[in-house]
């Protein structure tokens, strides 16, 4: 009898096992345990928004940091409009206060000009009176007019006071 080679005894069962295993794998689908993920991502915002423009198409590959869509938040728009209205109201109030100040300044200038006009009229009357008294004193022969100081008279003091007040 011929000697059987040990290699044949080991190789034949290994080849048979490999053929059986390959045939079983081709007939059944593989089973995976765990979670399968797709490449789509759901986008969500913590506040309600309305989508203004979508910048990508389905199936398009995107890179990290690429802008996908433009959204608009209604609450922010409302706050911006509210601030704009408040700003307009404040500007109107400021214009009214500015106009009020201009009116008050005009009133005060009018009062000032009236008082200045009154003082100027009093000064003219007083100067006319002083001139009249000086003319009268010139004509008097009984009083020595050179010793009289014209700056110490009550009318002169009053005239100086009115000029200072003006």
CA end-to-end span of the chain: 154
Strand (E) or helix (H) holding 86: helix 74-139
Query: Token pair for residue 15?
Result: 């080849």
SS3 69: strand
Q: Which of 19, 64, 71 is nearest to 45 (CA)?
A: 71
Question: How confident is the model at residue 110, as a pLDDT?
Answer: 93
Interval 8-51: pLDDT, tens: 778 888 888 888 877 766 655 555 555 555 555 666 667 777 77
pTM here is 0.43
In the chain, where the domains are located = 74-166
CA distance 166 to 127: 15
Task: Tell me what the pLDDT averaged over the chain comes to.
Answer: 79
Identify the H or E element spanning 119. Answer: helix 74-139
The single-letter DSSP state of residue 19 is H
Per-residue pLDDT tens over the stretch 58-77: 878 888 888 888 887 777 77
Q: How far apart are CA 23 and CA 25, in angstroms?
A: 5
């Amino acid at each position: 009898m011929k000697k059987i080679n040990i290699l044949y005894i080991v190789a034949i069962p290994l080849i048979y096992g490999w053929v059986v295993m390959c045939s079983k794998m081709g007939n059944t689908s593989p089973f995976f345990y765990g979670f399968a993920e797709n490449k789509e991502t759901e986008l969500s915002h913590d506040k309600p928004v309305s989508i203004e423009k979508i910048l990508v198409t389905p199936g398009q590959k995107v890179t990290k940091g690429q802008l996908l869509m433009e959204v608009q938040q209604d609450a922010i728009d409302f706050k911006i409009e509210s601030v704009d209205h408040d700003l307009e109201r404040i500007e109107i109030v400021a214009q009214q206060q500015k106009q009020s100040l201009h009116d008050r300044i005009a009133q005060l200038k009018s009062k000032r000009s009236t008082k200045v006009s009154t003082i100027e009229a009093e000064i003219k009357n007083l100067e006319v009176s002083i001139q009249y008294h000086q003319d009268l004193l010139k004509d008097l022969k009984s009083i020595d007019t050179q010793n009289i100081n014209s700056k110490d008279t009550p009318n002169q003091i009053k005239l100086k006071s009115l000029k200072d007040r003006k």
